[in-house]
Amino acid sequence: MLLALDAGNSDTVFGIHDGQRWIHIWRTRSLVNEGPAHYESILRLWLLEAGISPTTIQSTVLSSVVPDLTPTLRAMLAGLFSQDPIVVSPAIYPLLPLEILRPYEIGADLVANALAAHLTYQQNCVVVDFGTALTFTTVSATGRMLGVAIAPGLKTAVRSLFSNTAQLPEVPLEMPESALGTNTTHAIQAGIMLGYEGLVRSLLARIRAELDGNCLAIATGGLVATIPTLHVEFTEVRQMLTLDGIRAISQYVSAGAHQSR
């Protein structure tokens, strides 16, 4: 079995893959001030509850966009499973069937998204990831990463509004029935939720226009379900796309290591 970690700015996702499917998905807060023991205790409890012995985990892979958290999670995995994890980084990108744009700048999660989309569709694709940031990662049919657009994520936008204004509350991420907010909560929801609906549609239209209309759109991310009216824009909504890409990266790295022996 494979254990994959996707460490983001808000949460870290843990996934167990049995070779056929993701059999367990867990999520915890990404806390940079905690040491390896904190994450090990959480993971040990999850494994115990799932009836999985650490000895059955044959390989581990870590993708992180939080530099201060990466060594903590890496040490935790190495200690618990007595093996160094594969770490998604520019050092291993030459093993992937991708031409990566600015490899030392791009996030590991975006590389994973691009790889999963490319392997699945073999067509021009844009992956829209609804997370802490709202990202649009476009990859060509030949596996060339063409570019990325980044905006604040839905929760980030709401929290920014709440934190920087004296009289505006933090509101739930729910679609309003009207763009005409009749109270403060509905007014914020109209601006954020309907505004982001328009943002996504507009950027998808621009990206497709630049590719002469030849571009599939795939959605993923923890907040992908918050704007269901957008789902008609996507060929597929794949919650596990990033984990699928991380797993694929680990397979390419393992195959490269085997061939070099």
List pLDDT tens digits, range 201-245.
999 999 999 999 889 999 999 889 999 999 999 999 999 999 999
Provide the residue range defining the domain that includes 19: 2-87
For residues 174-196, average pLDDT: 89
Q: Round to whole Å and give the CA distance between 160 and 201.
A: 23
Inter-residue contact 53 to 47 (CB < 8 Å): yes
Averaged confidence pLDDT in the chain:
92
Q: End of a domain among 67, 87, 107?
A: 87
Residue 6 and residue 242 in contact, taking contact as beta carbons nearer than 8 Å: yes
Same domain flag for 116 and 232: yes
Tell how far CA 174 is from the center of its chain. Answer: 21
Domain assignment of residue 255, yes or no: no
With beta carbons less than 8 A apart as the criterion, state whether 66 and 7 touch: yes
pLDDT of residue 164: 59
Do 212 and 101 belong together in one domain?
A: yes
Considering the domain boundaries, does residue 34 fall inside one?
A: yes
> Looking at residue 144, what DSSP letter applies?
B
173 and 227, same domain (yes or no)? yes
User: Looking at the annotation, which residues are catalytic?
Assistant: 109
Same domain, 79 and 205: no
What is the token pair recorded at 27? 């999520």
Q: Is residue 258 part of a domain?
A: no
Using CA atoms, how far residue 74 sits from 27, 64, 93, in Å, is: 17, 10, 19
Same-domain pairing of 26 and 108: no
User: Domain check: are 236 and 212 in the same one?
Assistant: yes
Mapping DSSP onto H, E and C, the string for 26-52 reads EEEECCCCCCHHHHHHHHHHHHHHHCC
101 & 179 share domain: yes
Calculate mean pLDDT across residues 9-16.
95
Instruction: State pTM to two decimals.
Output: 0.92
Most confidently modeled range among 46-55, 158-167, 171-180: 46-55
What confidence category does residue 53 fall into, taking pLDDT thresholds of 50, 70 and 90?
very high
Both 60 and 145 in one domain: the answer is no
57 shares its domain with 108: no
